[in-house]
């Protein structure tokens, strides 16, 4: 015969209250909202970094690789930039979107600040050029 003590029964689980369910739903909605905006901010910040990087790659291509090798390095770099800048913009934008969407709440503020700086820089450049 088995004389081992039997474990006590587990306490009965109580169902969560309606208030707790509403609070959980609000937290999930806020997290989804921040994840969406973090992805949008990542798109703006990543696209800006990619575009600026594309212009620097084009400049480096013109100065480093093409000067002295072709008759008109500026025209060759301009043709290359028509492919490089959009590709690097797209790569940066998609990378920033993925970074923001996966980071969610943790990267929301960082990418929001980066997007704000990018938009402020774009506005400043527009005002300088338009003046």
Structural domain includes residue 12:
no
C-beta separation of 50 from 92 below 8 A: yes
Question: pTM of the prediction?
Answer: 0.73
Q: Which of 54, 35, 48, 52 is nearest to 119 (CA)?
A: 48
Structural domain includes residue 13:
no
Structural domain includes residue 17:
no
Domain count, the chain: 1
From first to last of its 131 residues, the chain has per-residue pLDDT tens of: 566 666 666 666 677 888 888 999 999 998 888 889 999 999 999 999 999 999 999 999 888 888 788 888 888 888 989 999 999 999 999 999 999 988 877 888 889 999 999 999 989 999 999 98
Structural domain includes residue 123:
yes
Q: Which of 83, 88, 95, 94 is nearest to 51 (CA)?
A: 88
Structural domain includes residue 10:
no
- Rounded Cα distance between 44 and 52, Å, is 12
Question: The domain containing residue 93 runs over which residues?
Answer: 24-130
| Residues of the chain by 3-state class (helix, strand, coil), percent to 5 | 80, 0, 20
């Amino acid at each position: 015969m088995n004389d081992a003590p039997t474990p006590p029964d587990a306490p009965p689980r109580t169902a969560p209250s309606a208030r707790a369910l509403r609070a959980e739903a609000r937290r999930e909605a806020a997290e989804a909202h921040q994840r969406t905006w973090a992805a949008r901010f990542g798109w703006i910040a990543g696209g800006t970094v990619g575009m600026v990087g594309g212009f620097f790659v084009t400049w480096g291509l013109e100065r480093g690789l093409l000067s002295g090798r072709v008759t008109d390095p500026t025209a060759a770099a301009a043709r290359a930039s028509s492919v490089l800048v959009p590709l690097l913009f797209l790569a940066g934008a998609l990378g920033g979107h993925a970074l923001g969407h996966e980071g969610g709440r943790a990267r929301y503020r960082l990418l929001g600040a980066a997007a704000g700086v990018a938009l402020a820089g774009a506005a400043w450049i527009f005002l300088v050029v338009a003046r």
